[in-house]
Structure 1
Amino acid sequence: MLRVPLGDDGAELRLLEPYQAVEFIALVDRGREFIGRYLRFPDTVTDLASGRSFLQDFADKTAADTGRIYGIWLAGQLVGSVIFAMIDAGTGIAEAGCWLEPSAAGKGLVTRAARAIIDWAINERGIHRVEWRAAVANEASIAVAKRLGMTREGVLREYYLHRGTRFDVEVWSILAPEWKAAGA
C-alpha cells in the first residue's frame, strides 16, 4: 500500500516509515496537547530521535507482521495516523487506533482511513476480528467506531494511567462476516 486516496479532497493514506520522522515530529508538535489528552506517546515523542524510534518500532512490527502505522496526508501535509497497534494473524485479531492534529478533526479523515485499513486487514490478511479501544471520554474516537459499524462490547474500568488520571476504556469490535455483510 503505497498511496490510497481517501476521497475527493486530496486526502491519502500511506505507510508511515522512519525516514518520515521529521514530518511525524512536526505533526506531534502541532497537536501535542490535543493528541495527548488520551494517548501517551506525545509525552515521550519529543524530538527527532524519539520520533524516529517510535516509527522504527512500527517498522519492526510491520516486518514481523504484528502491527502497522499509516499516515494520513491532506494537501500534502501529514495530519494524522491510523494504526494497527497489534496484529495477531494466528488468532485473526487486530487492534486499530488513530489520532489527528486539531486542524484535521471533523473532516471524516479517520473514518475513511480506518475503513481502508480494516478492509485490508479483513479482505487481504484474513483477520477475523478488529478491535477499537477508546477512553470513555474520547467521544470523537467512539463516534468513529460507531460509524465503522462496530459493536460496543464493554468498558475496561480504570484501564490505564495517563497524566495522573486513570481512564476507563470502551472496547468496540467488528467481525469479518459483519464487515463483509455491511459491504464496508
Structure 2
Amino acid sequence: MFAVPLTADAELRPLNPWHAEEFLANLDRARENISPWVSPSFVATDLDQARHVLQRYADRWARDDGGIWGIWSGGTLVGGVLLVSLNAELGVCEAGCWLEPAAEGRGLVTRAVSRLIDWVVDERGLHRVEWRVLAGNERSIAVARRLGMRRDGVLREVSPGPHGRVDLEIWSLLAPQWQARRAGTPVD
C-alpha cells in the first residue's frame, strides 16, 4: 500500500471496494454539497451501491482506463480524486474530485489533484488533463484555476438539471504547461 502526504495530517491513498463502509459514510456527510455537481451514479445511498461504485473504479484501474483515490484527514475519509477516464493511446484523461464540507478550505483537493497530474504526466506520459464541471460549481472551477487550467469552452445545456438543462464547462491542462508551471517558468 502507498500513501502520499498532502498536509501534516492528510494523505492520499488508493480507495478500494473494501473501503465501501468508509466511502458511504463520507458520501453521507458530503451528499448535500456534491449531489448537484456529480453523477447520481456516484453518490451511493447504501453499502451495496458504495461497493459497486468502488468496484467500477477498481475495474477501470485494472483495464487502465481510470481510477479512484481517497483523501484521509486525521484517519477519516473526507473526499477524494479520480480519473473518470484515461486513454493512454490518445494521451488524455479526465480528472475529478469530491470533498465533504468539513474538509473544505484547506487545499486538500488542489494538492491531491496536483499529485494525480504529476503521476499522469510524469509516469504515464499523458499530454492532456481535462476537468469537466457544471457551470455554477464555483468551488470546482476555483480548483481548475488554481491548477493553472484553461477553460476550453462550454457545452451548452448538455444535461438535465433540477431546474432545466445545464451547461458543462471544459477546462484543461497540457503536459508542457504543467511542467513549466512546476519549474516556475511563466506559461502563456
Question: What is residue 97 of structure 2 aligned with on the other side?
Answer: 98
Q: Structure 1 CA distance, aligned partners of 2:163 and 2:13?
A: 34
TM-fit CA distance, 1:136? 1.2
Question: What is residue 172 of structure 1 aligned with on the other side?
Answer: 171
Deviations 1:87-112 (A, max 9, x none): 00000000001110111111111000
TM-fit CA distance, 1:45? 1.0
Question: What is residue 186 of structure 2 aligned with on the other side?
Answer: none
Residue pair 2:2, 2:13 contacting (<8 A) in 1 also: yes
Residue pair 2:35, 2:43 contacting (<8 A) in 1 also: no
For the aligned residues, what is the CA RMSD?
A: 1.5
TM-fit CA distance, 1:159? 1.6
Q: Please identify, of 124-133 and 41-50, the stretch whose mean Cα deviation from structure 2 is larger.
A: 41-50
* Cα gap change, 1:43 to 1:71, in 2 (>3 Å): closer
Secondary structure of 1:94's aligned partner: strand
In structure 1, the gaps of 5 or more residues are none
Secondary structure of 2:90's aligned partner: coil
TM-score, structure 2 length as denominator?
0.93
Q: Structure 1 CA distance, aligned partners of 2:75 and 2:172?
A: 31
Residue pair 1:66, 1:88 contacting (<8 A) in 2 also: yes
Counterpart amino acid of residue 130 in structure 2 = E
* Cα gap change, 1:151 to 1:43, in 2 (>3 Å): closer
Counterpart amino acid of residue 57 in structure 2 = F
* Cα gap change, 1:13 to 1:73, in 2 (>3 Å): same
TM-fit CA distance, 1:42? 6.6
TM-fit CA distance, 1:44? 5.4
Secondary structure of 1:106's aligned partner: coil
TM-score, structure 1 length as denominator?
0.95
Deviations 1:114-143 (A, max 9, x none): 000011000001110000011110000000
Among all aligned residue pairs of Structure 1 and Structure 2, give the percentage whose two residues are the same amino acid: 53
Question: What is residue 85 of structure 1 aligned with on the other side?
Answer: 84
